[in-house]
Copies of this chain bind each other. A is one copy, B any other.
Amino acid sequence: MTEPTRTTGDRIVATYELHDPGRSPEALAAAIALEQTVEVPQALAEAAGLPPGVVGEIERIDRGAAGAARAVLSYDPAVVEAGGVPALVNLVFGNVSMMPGVRLVDLAFPDRVLATFDGPRHGVAGVRALTGVYGRPLLATALKPRGVPVARLVEMAGAFARGGGDVLKDDQNLIDGFEAFKDRVKRCADAVDDANQRTGRRCLYLPHVTGPLPSLARRFEYVARLGLPGVLACPFIAGLGTARSLARDHDLVLMAHPAFSGGHFVSRREGIEHGLLFGTLLRIAGADVAVFPNTGGRFEFGRKDCASIAARLRAPLGRLPPAWPCPAGGMGFGQLPGMCADYGPDAVLLIGGALIGHGEDLEASTRSFLDVVRANSAERLEPPRPLPGPPADARAPRVLAHRPGFEWNGRPSSAYKDARDLAEGLAFKGVRRVELVGRFGEPTRTDLRYFEIEPGGYSSLEKHLHTHIVIGARGRGVLVLGNRRETLAPMDVACIGPLEAHQLRNESSEPFGFFCIVDHDRDRPVAP
């Protein structure tokens, strides 16, 4: 028996299976420990006088009676705390992924590190609440094949939802330009919405989002703004840290497709154990639903591989909620009872071609498939949780009326800066601040603030990566930019570039007020 991987104190613990017959397990483990952390030879690492624990440590080497040896290594988690999921991937398998005969098979994390992972936003419980379906697996299908007219996809979307299907995703081959994407997704979403209103249930429609930045980000945003509950994305193409951040920004269900993942597991001597890849890593990377090829389908996943994935998606992992296994890849009508038995109720059963090709009437086919699922589980229906609906801003007052004295209804003045800024040397005098837009849940990427400086006052002399656009509003002031001074009068416009030292000063005898436009997400100012 192999011992499970446990954390050692406050370190990340990684277990590697070693299949390289050319090197002893001890030599290979020592090479991994250096490669993944300092990437210099042992002697140089020693000469550098590094703090203890920076170099990976060999905790244990298990030589199984039969089969490969296992090396258990531990790592300093500091890089993961600083760099999130991308740093984790780099730390435990970045360069080692290129070593023949080394397979990553287990990971364990100290609680402090687990607390830094966001994980699934919705998870099993969240997606259940969105559908209102309990006690049975969810039935999913894919809108395909690529190449049929959009009108046909719209018909299919409506039919699947009217038949009671739970999750409808785009095929990952449905890829179009942004304006065509907007049109197609809107029409399919409307068809599902119409069907949901008829059935009183809620089928979740998850469009496929892909593309380079910034097109990818815009697609996530569009899906969210249509009021749809989630997306299908390919994290192994988009980047494990990229898909998660975008889904989370918009509170979307993230269904993770395995495209381009094969290299990480298809050789069983290298890569990453199936459950660790699709269970642990995708879950840490925010997948609510992890799609993977089921055993007996078009890809060669064994029963043990699939069981490991399901177990790791559900196992306790800090405060991360369990996520959904979604077996797929050539499943059909006849396999439904077995899938229900293998995975239990908390699974999404994805049947694509076999459901679409079951007969002329997709609505009736969906009902037949669901009947099998129901016969093999104990369905209980509740009203679906209301969707977030139009964002809060749509219900809030939309115009902030200006009152004499440069005050705005509902937006009190606040302190210009806080004690931390002062402690960091950002001195200022006589500045009033009014947060107008951006701090109240508005869906913009930009914040609008009004600042007013009393006679003799000044803002802190500072610099930062983010830029300012400034519009003069009241009185006259001086904009200091490096060693230049510019006057700012009402309706004058100024632009302050990245890392430019700047200050606004009131050298007049009247108040000096201006609007200031900044990125919502921005870095902290520092003294020049």
Residues of A at the B interface (CB closer than 8 Å) are 31, 35-41, 43-45, 47-51, 54-55, 79, 82-87, 89-91, 93-100, 142, 144-148, 171-173, 175-180, 182, 210-218, 221-222, 225-226, 234, 237-242, 244-246, 258-267, 269-272, 293, 298-300, 352-353, 356-357, 390-391, 393-394, 398-402, 406, 408, 436-437, 442-446, 448, 465, 467, 469, 471-473, 479, 481, 484, 486-500, 515, 517, 519, 521, 523-524
**A448 B493 Cβ-Cβ under 8 A:** yes
Which chain B residues lie closer than 8 Å to A145 at the CB level?
37-40, 44-45, 48, 50, 54
Nearest CB of B to A28, in Å: 11
**B442 A495 Cβ-Cβ under 8 A:** yes
Answer whether A79 and B40 are a contact pair too, CB < 8 Å, given A145-B45, A238-B241, A493-B408: no
**A523 B259 Cβ-Cβ under 8 A:** no
**A266 B262 Cβ-Cβ under 8 A:** no
Answer whether A352 and B39 are a contact pair too, CB < 8 Å, given A213-B245, A245-B212, A446-B519: yes
Which chain B residues lie closer than 8 Å to A472 at the CB level?
402
Which chain B residues lie closer than 8 Å to A55 at the CB level?
147
**B241 A216 Cβ-Cβ under 8 A:** yes
Answer whether A175 and B211 are a contact pair too, CB < 8 Å, given A97-B263, A148-B50: no
**B211 A98 Cβ-Cβ under 8 A:** no
**B258 A175 Cβ-Cβ under 8 A:** no
Identical chains in the assembly: 2
Answer whether A83 and B442 are a contact pair too, CB < 8 Å, given A263-B270, A469-B437: no
**B225 A79 Cβ-Cβ under 8 A:** no
**B517 A446 Cβ-Cβ under 8 A:** yes
Which chain B residues lie closer than 8 Å to A393 at the CB level?
495, 497
**B486 A398 Cβ-Cβ under 8 A:** yes
**B524 A221 Cβ-Cβ under 8 A:** no
20 sampled A-B residue pairs with Cβ under 8 A: A37-B173, A39-B173, A40-B144, A51-B147, A54-B146, A82-B176, A87-B210, A98-B262, A99-B299, A213-B213, A214-B245, A225-B498, A262-B271, A267-B270, A391-B497, A398-B479, A401-B492, A437-B493, A444-B495, A448-B493
Which chain B residues lie closer than 8 Å to A495 at the CB level?
393, 398, 437, 442, 444
**A399 B492 Cβ-Cβ under 8 A:** yes
Among A36, A100, A173, the one with the most B-chain Cβ atoms within 10 Å of its Cβ is A173
Which chain B residues lie closer than 8 Å to A465 at the CB level?
182, 218, 221-222, 225
Q: Closest 10 A-B residue pairs measured CB to CB? A: A239-B239, A97-B262, A263-B263, A267-B267, A94-B259, A38-B145, A54-B147, A212-B241, A402-B491, A98-B262
Which chain B residues lie closer than 8 Å to A492 at the CB level?
399-402
**A87 B448 Cβ-Cβ under 8 A:** no
Answer whether A213 and B234 are a contact pair too, CB < 8 Å, given A44-B356, A173-B38, A446-B519: no
Nearest CB of B to A179, in Å: 7
Instruction: Choose among B98, B213, B266, B271 the residue that contacts A299 (Cβ–Cβ < 8 A).
Output: B98
Which chain B residues lie closer than 8 Å to A99 at the CB level?
262, 266, 299-300
Which chain B residues lie closer than 8 Å to A176 at the CB level?
79, 82-83
Which chain B residues lie closer than 8 Å to A79 at the CB level?
146, 173, 175-176
Residue of B nearest to A446 (CB): B446
| Bound: A492/B408 CA distance, A | 8
| Bound: A521/B217 CA distance, A | 11
Which chain B residues lie closer than 8 Å to A226 at the CB level?
499
**A147 B84 Cβ-Cβ under 8 A:** no
Instruction: Choose among B90, B436, B523 the residue that contacts A260 (Cβ–Cβ < 8 A).
Output: B90
Q: A213-B242, A406-B491, A442-B495 are in contact. List 7 more A-B contacts (CB 8 A).
A: A37-B173, A49-B148, A86-B234, A211-B241, A237-B240, A399-B492, A399-B494
| Bound: A499/B221 CA distance, A | 11
| Bound: A242/B243 CA distance, A | 11
Nearest CB of B to A77, in Å: 11
| Bound: A391/B217 CA distance, A | 26
Residue of B nearest to A470 (CB): B399
| Bound: A37/B171 CA distance, A | 10
| Bound: A293/B89 CA distance, A | 19
